[in-house]
Amino acid sequence: MVKFEYLEPTSLKEACALLDQHPDDAKIIAGGTALIIWMRMRLLNPRLVISLEKIPDFNYIRYDDKDGLRIGAGARHREIELAPAVRSHYPLLHETFRKVAQPRIRNMGTVGGNLCQGDPLTDPGASLMALDAEVTLTHSKGKRTLALEKFFVDYYQTDLQPGEILTEIHLPPSIKPLGWSHIKFTPRSVEDFATVGVALTLRAQKDTCEDIRLALNSVAPTILRAKRAENVLRGKKISDGLLREMGETAATEVDPMDDNRGSAEYKRDMVKVLVRRAAQEALQRISLQL
């Protein structure tokens, strides 16, 4: 293991100040499920590790009918999975977070750390994106908000700037009836990263799609919104033919690579199938709410 200094600031202001003082050789640690592995592999060699563990009220999960859901970046996957407000108002998130790795990881990993890692194989980002999430990024001179779909830049790269800490995820109020689906295709093990991940939300009236969000993970250098595929269905009368076209269009928006989970061609074919299946599941859920 790399030798490093470890500090535990007791306020967000103190943590931001430490980042300003050590712009080139400091890393933030929250749950540590990713950072420690990277350090053991010597992919990262920080001289200073700044823990967010002792910052008060950093793992909140708060819901308001008018404002929506606000999640502190320090909230752990398991806390989000079990939160009553999440289960009641954002079942897509409940379904997603219960599928992340296994309980020991969910009890440690934080949602903020997951997003800041920028790993395109992880699940939470796609479902949060499908729910129009935005993130708050805080630094010593203030803060800014950014739509989550703009946060992911490239493979393991995000728009997080030097000195910034991701502090909150905000989701707008859930409008019902809302259809949703989360499909994590894992042919090897349920604890594995997805070969293909699909998160979808859908609003429809009288067989016509009013609005749709489709996000995909594990099939490109970043988690992504498949906007061309969304436009195939948005504002149109839903049919099996359009659902098939939407899946085929989504397959043109991805850029998968060959790996031990499957070939790029195989993943594109699975996108076609799973996007169509996700839309069908979302429509079934809408029918149950009416």
DSSP class per residue in 62-119: EEETTTEEEEETT-BHHHHHH-HHHHHH-HHHHHHHTTSS-HHHHTT-BHHHHHHHT-
Give domain status of residue 265, yes or no: yes
Stretch 209-213: mean pLDDT, rounded?
98
pLDDT over 70 percentage in the chain: 99
Verify that 72 and 118 share a domain, yes or no.
yes
Helix axis angle, 240-253 relative to 264-289, nearest 10°?
140
Stretch 117-126: mean pLDDT, rounded?
97
Band of pLDDT at residue 99, cut at 50, 70 and 90: very high
DSSP 160: P
Distances (CA, A) of 217 to 7, 127, 255, 262: 34, 9, 11, 14
Whether the full predicted model's pTM is greater than 0.95, yes or no, is yes
Verify that 156 and 231 share a domain, yes or no.
no
What's the residue count for the chain? Answer: 290
pLDDT by residue (tens digit) across 123-181?
A: 999 999 999 999 999 999 999 999 999 999 999 999 999 999 999 999 999 888 999 99
Segments in the chain forming alpha helices (H): 12-21, 35-40, 77-82, 84-89, 91-97, 103-106, 111-117, 124-130, 148-151, 227-233, 240-253, 264-289
Q: Contact, 185 vs 194, CB < 8 A?
A: yes
Verify that 198 and 253 share a domain, yes or no.
yes
Verify that 92 and 167 share a domain, yes or no.
yes
Classify the C-alpha dihedral 239-132-68-199 as positive or negative.
Answer: positive
CATH code assigned at 152: 3.30.465.10
Domain span at residue 256? 179-289
Give domain status of residue 56, yes or no: no
Q: Is the pLDDT of residue 2 over 80?
A: no
**Burial class for 64, CB neighbours closer than 10 Å (0-12, 13-18, 19+):** exposed
Verify that 162 and 187 share a domain, yes or no.
no
User: How much is the pLDDT for 188?
Assistant: 80
Give domain status of residue 27, yes or no: yes
Stretch 26-34: mean pLDDT, rounded?
95
pLDDT over 90 percentage in the chain: 95
Q: Which of 63, 60, 62, 69 is nearest to 172 (CA)?
A: 69
The count of domains in the chain is: 3
Q: What six digits make up the tokens of 251?
A: 């397959």
Arithmetic mean of pLDDT over the chain: 96
Band of pLDDT at residue 107, cut at 50, 70 and 90: very high
Verify that 148 and 166 share a domain, yes or no.
yes
Stretch 227-250: mean pLDDT, rounded?
98
Verify that 69 and 155 share a domain, yes or no.
yes
Q: For residue 109, what are the contacts with CB-CB under 8 A and spacing of at least 6?
A: 31, 33, 34, 76, 77, 100, 101
Q: What six digits make up the tokens of 5?
A: 């200094």
